[in-house]
Chain A
Amino acid sequence: MKAGEIAGRASDAISDLHGSQEYKEHIVGVLLKRAFQRAQEYCV
């Protein structure tokens, strides 16, 4: 399993006004990938 999926599941996402649980889990995966790339780019 990919880190994004693991993090999505671990986020304890709930369905509410902000979106469904599945939707939030998906966003977690997308953001994690980008955050990881950015963290590496900005390494000092």
Chain B
Amino acid sequence: MLRRFRLEEPESVDETSDLLARYGESAKIYAGGTELLLAMKEGLVHYERLVNIKKIRSLDQITTENGFIHIGALSTHRKLVESSLLRERLPALVGMESDIANIRVREVGTLGGNLCFAEPHADPGTLLLVLGARLFAAKRSSNREIPVEQFFVDAYETCLEPDEILTGVRVPLPPRPSGVAYLKFGYLERPSVGVAVRVTLDQTRESIVEARVAVGCAGPVPRRVEEAERLRQPVLL
């Protein structure tokens, strides 16, 4: 059963941050609600106030500028799957997104909610690691940029401060020629193991200039595996 709560509907990041600062631990951001409402219904957590951030229109945009793609935190999985910009420029991200959960969760669940919940059995964090993404967090009077490596602290724990909002993710377009792949395995509702690779070749396409490897789901947080990256192809295959 869902216990009573108040719903706040701020229209800006500043207003959201003020509400979070004012109400402290009794308030929580609510985006798609796919994780939060589930946890509240099961009585695992209770908040007196939910701060619905979906009225902040500017947070669901997907844009490209100067070799980067910017994805607003409120972009739903579905929106990412259907984005023609992402299909063209980051098809591996679209592939990963189209395989998240089920159609109902993808319809309302957001990328920001996925990252902020920091559930270990999740896909985006692992792929964002090899893409070299940075996350943008904001609160009243300050903004900061966080490399994905530093974002996940432990299972269900991120480095965000209580009154901070994740506003978006910036992904650099991979250098050319590069290839990116994300594969996962599991037989339960959520993935059991996820692996992401980004390979950059030299212009002749004969040797590997850079390889990046990340693993997720198996442990508490997704992580880059630099020792494996140094080995490159011959040892790997």
A residues in contact (CB < 8 Å) with B: 2-4, 6-8, 10-14, 17-19, 24-25, 27-28, 30-44
Q: Which B residues lie within 8 Å of A25 (CB)?
A: 218
B195:A32 contact, CB within 8 angstroms: yes
Q: Which A residues lie within 8 Å of B176 (CB)?
A: 44
A18–chain B nearest beta-carbon distance, Å: 4
Given A3-B236, A12-B223, A33-B236, the answer on whether A27 and B192 have CB atoms closer than 8 Å is: yes
A23–chain B nearest beta-carbon distance, Å: 9
B192–chain A nearest beta-carbon distance, Å: 4
- Quick one: which of B196, B231, B236 has the most chain A CB within 10 A? B236
B199 contacts A by Cβ under 8 Å = yes
A19–chain B nearest beta-carbon distance, Å: 6
B198 contacts A by Cβ under 8 Å = yes
B215:A40 contact, CB within 8 angstroms: no
B213 contacts A by Cβ under 8 Å = yes
Q: CB within 8 Å of A: which of B176-190?
A: 176-186, 188
20 chain-A/chain-B pairs, Cβ below 8 angstroms: A3-B225, A10-B215, A10-B223, A11-B216, A11-B219, A11-B223, A12-B218, A12-B219, A13-B193, A24-B193, A25-B218, A28-B218, A30-B185, A32-B228, A35-B196, A36-B199, A40-B179, A40-B199, A42-B91, A44-B179
Contact of A31 among B180, B188, B193, B236 (CB under 8 A): B193
B237:A39 contact, CB within 8 angstroms: no
Instruction: Give the A-B pair count, Cβ closer than 8 A.
Output: 125
B interface, how many residues as a size bin? 35 or more
Q: Which A residues lie within 8 Å of B186 (CB)?
A: 18
B185:A31 contact, CB within 8 angstroms: yes
B197:A42 contact, CB within 8 angstroms: no
A30–chain B nearest beta-carbon distance, Å: 8
A18:B121 contact, CB within 8 angstroms: yes
Given A6-B225, A10-B223, A12-B223, the answer on whether A43 and B237 have CB atoms closer than 8 Å is: no
In angstroms, Cα B92 to Cα A13, docked, is 24
In angstroms, Cα B179 to Cα A37, docked, is 10
A9–chain B nearest beta-carbon distance, Å: 9
B215:A7 contact, CB within 8 angstroms: yes
Identity of the chain A residue whose Cβ is nearest the Cβ of B186 in the assembled complex: A18
A3–chain B nearest beta-carbon distance, Å: 4
In angstroms, Cα B27 to Cα A38, docked, is 44
A14:B218 contact, CB within 8 angstroms: yes
B225:A7 contact, CB within 8 angstroms: yes
Q: Which A residues lie within 8 Å of B201 (CB)?
A: 40, 43
